[in-house]
Amino acid sequence: MQPIVSVQHATGSYPVFVESGLLEQLAASAAQLLPDRRLAIITDRTVGRLVSHNLEVATLMVAPGEGSKSRARWSALTDRLLDLGYGRDAAIIALGGGVVGDLAGFVAASYLRGIPWLQVPTSLLAMVDASVGGKTGVNTRHGKNLVGAFHPPVAVLADPAALATLHRPQLGAGLVEAVKHGVVADAAYFRWIERNAAGLLSGELPLLGELVVQSVTIKARIVSEDEQEQGRRAVLNAGHTVAHAIERVTGYSLPHGDAVAIGLVVEAQLAEQLGLAEAGLATTLRQTLSSLERPTALQPEWNAAALLEAMSHDKKARAEHLRFALPRSLGEMAGADSNWTVPVSVAQLEHVLSNSRAAAVAS
């Protein structure tokens, strides 16, 4: 196994491996990366049923979906580990998508004040984005990811062969985060996704493997510069301020990637309105995301006041200001002189939200 990249953090670094067949080697990899550790796997019931692994260890399962990313489920998992007598020699293997990674990582970060963990993403969204960066946490009634910790894994093992179990909408939702990486850091990568949209959406594994490698490389470079999101790492939140509000208003019924797709377009419209972005950027994003069969506009039934209220709980909010990570053009973000976020007034935001809802009605 050769890592494609190492992600730097305050006390060292961890490797990211992207290679077909890694799941078949999971037992050997875990023994190498977590020697002399008593292992427990945290996964969800869907992944546990579809993805085979060769480890005979305690397996703690949760229901699939954002509903499991809660303090109640975190408490239940930590209590179960205590019931099973896991001590300081314990380690966690997070086997699943982004929800499992965030939840299991937070269990590892907090159990006995911190134990090691291994990230094994099985969804495209988790492979290209959520598994890299060391963010862990759970949701609250006030919003997503508001309780958590930075706790890097010992390694990330991404097996593109696991993506063969995903349906077209799941692939499409995961591709949105890769599009985001092109928007924030690499215009050529964005155009590559654009050219290969049909093959990616059809699940062609060589293309998906290349996509994972490119996205991980981009994200690793950014988070290595700014582990705890004090500066440039904020650009990775592009599309997410609106997306998290949509998720909250819809009760997390919309897939995360679909919410981000809408968020990217709406926030590009906001950047154009503020004179930060080149004209036509939102249209370019809308066309590319539409080619990936993703939604691109706010729905009329989503209450604007509720969306604004949800955004006020975003982690980037400061005092009375809403702050956004906004694009200037493909591969370039605004805010280099203001910690990579831009303050936006409620009136400016209301105008863009209204236009996006009107576009949905017209279509």
Burial 326-336 (b: 16+ CB within 10 A, else e): bbebbbebbbe
Rg from Cα positions in the chain: 20
Confirm whether 240 is a catalytic residue.
yes
DSSP-based three-state secondary structure for 107: helix
Please give the single-letter amino acid code of residue 358: A
Q: Point out the catalytic residue in the list 180, 240, 248, 294.
A: 240
Confirm whether 151 is a catalytic residue.
no
Distances 245 to 109, 165, 242, 262, 291 between C-alpha atoms, Å: 26, 30, 5, 11, 24
Q: Point out the catalytic residue in the list 229, 247, 267, 272.
A: 229
Confirm whether 256 is a catalytic residue.
yes
Extract the tokens encoding 227.
């582990």
Q: Point out the catalytic residue in the list 151, 244, 294, 316.
A: 244
Confirm whether 227 is a catalytic residue.
no
Helices of type H across the chain = 26-33, 45-50, 71-83, 98-110, 124-125, 168-185, 187-195, 197-201, 205-225, 240-249, 256-273, 281-291, 304-311, 346-362
Confirm whether 113 is a catalytic residue.
yes
Q: Point out the catalytic residue in the list 248, 256, 316, 357.
A: 256
Largest CA distance in the chain: 61
Confirm whether 229 is a catalytic residue.
yes
Looking up tokens 């260890």 gives 57
Cα angle 59, 138, 55 (rounded to 5 degrees) comes to 15
Secondary structure of 179-209 in HEC code, one letter for each residue: HHHHHHHCHHHHHHHHHCHHHHHCCCHHHHH
Q: Point out the catalytic residue in the list 144, 151, 233, 316.
A: 233
3-state helix, strand, coil in the chain (%, to 5): 50, 20, 30
Extract the tokens encoding 218.
């981009």
Q: Point out the catalytic residue in the list 73, 144, 181, 219.
A: 219
Confirm whether 323 is a catalytic residue.
no
Q: Point out the catalytic residue in the list 66, 177, 247, 272.
A: 177
H helix or E strand, kind and range, residue 148: strand 143-150
Residues 137, 106: Cα–Cα separation, whole Å: 5
Is residue 246 within 8 A of residue 298, CB to CB? The reply is yes
Positions marked catalytic: 113, 135, 177, 219, 229, 233, 237, 240, 244, 256
